[in-house]
């Protein structure tokens, strides 16, 4: 190494070495008192995320799809468990496909809980079938729920987060947004679109200190998965995952909480697989 190059390297090392404040270790206690919104928070991954955020001291607002009495009971049970953690809770049915309903929900949360600091776009559905057999409504329902819903919520919270110059947004996409399978063209398209939206939103909101990231779960044990997916597909998923197992909702929730914490303050526009090595 010549003298000029050596001097340049030494100068660079001196520059990066001037940081005297220690880097924070992962500590979710900095989430205490913040207000988190979780779409689709009454079951599965959304439920696990809502509870994990409450364990960290976040006040939680969640919405759910009112598909009948069982859906309402599930939502009430989640609200009860959240309140047991001594946080404030707001919840109601909200159709994430309806931009006006989403806007009203965010306004209500801001008023009732005193702000919005975290948004988890989790609401999602599937309507599987070969693409040549998919009806218009089966395509539209999935794309409008999984992709439009995330856009509507993000657009609604953006003015709040930009004004306070702080915010964390995590979108729950899927490994199928990266690598598809037969019969899920609508679902895979919506989740791939959500990955693109995550990166675009990160670019637009980053200058106001708003982090936008995504998690991409693989096959996660939920009621919808175990009740709706044939056992041979689940067996194949286990075989394809290098860890040899399906995930649990808590596996996803832990990564989401990390992304919402200040330990992830310098991460934005990232898509983190939570798939046991399914995509490897």
Q: 236-244: long-range contacts at Cβ-Cβ below 8 A with a sequence spacing of 24 or more?
A: 237/278, 240/278, 241/275, 241/276, 241/277, 241/278, 242/276, 242/277, 242/278, 242/280, 243/276, 243/277, 244/276
Answer left, alpha or beta for residue 57, where phi above 0 means left and psi between -120 and 50 means alpha: left
Other C-beta atoms closer than 10 Å to the C-beta of 9 total 11
3-state per-residue secondary structure call for 160-194: HHHHHCCEEEEEECCHHHCCCCCCCHHHHHHHHHH
In whole angstroms, give the CA distance from residue 123 to residue 117.
Answer: 18
Contact 27, 261 (CB under 8 A): yes
Is residue 187 flagged as an active site residue?
Answer: yes
Which residue among 90, 187, 219, 278 is the active-site one? 187
Sign of CA dihedral 55, 56, 57, 61: negative
Residues labelled catalytic: 187
């Amino acid at each position: 190494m010549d003298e000029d190059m050596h001097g340049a390297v030494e100068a660079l090392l001196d520059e990066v070495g001037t940081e005297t404040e220690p880097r924070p270790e992962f500590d979710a206690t900095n989430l205490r008192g913040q207000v988190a919104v979780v779409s689709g928070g009454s079951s599965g991954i959304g439920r696990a995320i809502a509870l994990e955020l409450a364990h960290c001291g976040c006040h939680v607002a969640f919405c759910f799809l009112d598909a009948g009495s069982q859906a309402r009971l599930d939502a009430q049970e989640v609200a009860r468990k959240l309140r047991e953690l001594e946080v404030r809770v707001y919840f109601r049915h909200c159709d994430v496909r309806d931009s006006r309903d989403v806007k009203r929900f965010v306004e209500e949360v801001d008023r009732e809980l005193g702000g919005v600091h975290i948004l988890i776009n989790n609401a999602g559905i599937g309507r599987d079938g070969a693409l040549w057999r998919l009806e218009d409504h089966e395509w539209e329902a999935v794309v409008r729920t999984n992709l439009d819903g995330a856009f509507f919520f993000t657009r609604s919270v953006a003015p709040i987060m930009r004004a306070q110059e702080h915010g964390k947004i995590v979108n729950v996409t899927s490994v199928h947004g990266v690598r598809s399978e037969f019969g899920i063209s609508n679902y895979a398209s919506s989740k791939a679109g959500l990955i693109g939206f995550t990166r675009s939103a990160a670019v637009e909101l980053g200058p106001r200190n708003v982090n936008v990231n995504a998690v991409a779960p693989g096959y996660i044990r939920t009621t919808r998965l175990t009740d709706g997916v044939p056992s041979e597909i689940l067996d194949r998923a286990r075989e394809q995952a290098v860890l040899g197992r399906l995930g649990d909702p808590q596996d996803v929730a832990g990564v989401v909480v990390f992304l919402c914490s200040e330990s992830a303050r310098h991460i934005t526009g990232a898509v983190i697989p939570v798939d046991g090595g399914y995509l490897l």
